[in-house]
Amino acid sequence: MNAIRIQTEPFDIRAEQEALCRNNPSIGALVTFVGLMRDLNDGMGVSRMTLEHYPGMTEKALGALVAEAGERWALEGIRLVHRVGTLEPLDPIVFVGVVSRHRGEAFRACEFLIDALKTRAPFWKKELTATGERWVKARETDAEAARRW
């Protein structure tokens, strides 16, 4: 079972995990990643972040990532939840959950998905700092991580 959601409201990590495993006793591994908003970026304090996206385009891009993970690894399900709108430090931004019969598949697929999200998903981040607003630029370290796949 695969599910993709983009939403403004917070998500319940436990509920997302339970939904992935529900009624499937063949699952032997559940691997999750939750990304949180930090209060510091590039050496500067950040008090708020706004995430923007293009509805329709974003869901299509995330669907392609989920489909690619499903083709590369033997998985029982994927849940991908990404928030948009205004976020504050410690707010959860993204949930990536993967279930499979074996842990290796789940770990690799989860890591692939978060690396791909950082470089291939159409989200734009604007931070509020002490000196004003600024758009977050792509990081070379994210591109480097994505190239492994």
pLDDT in tens, 101-120: 999 999 999 999 999 999 99
pLDDT in tens, 20-61: 999 999 999 999 999 999 999 888 899 999 999 999 999 999
Count of Cβ atoms closer than 10 Å to residue 81 Cβ: 22
Please give the CATH architecture assigned to the domain spanning 2-147.
Alpha-Beta Complex (3.90)
The two counts, helices (H) then strands (E), for the chain are 4, 9
How many angstroms separate the first and last alpha carbons of the chain? 23
> So where are the chain's domains?
2-147
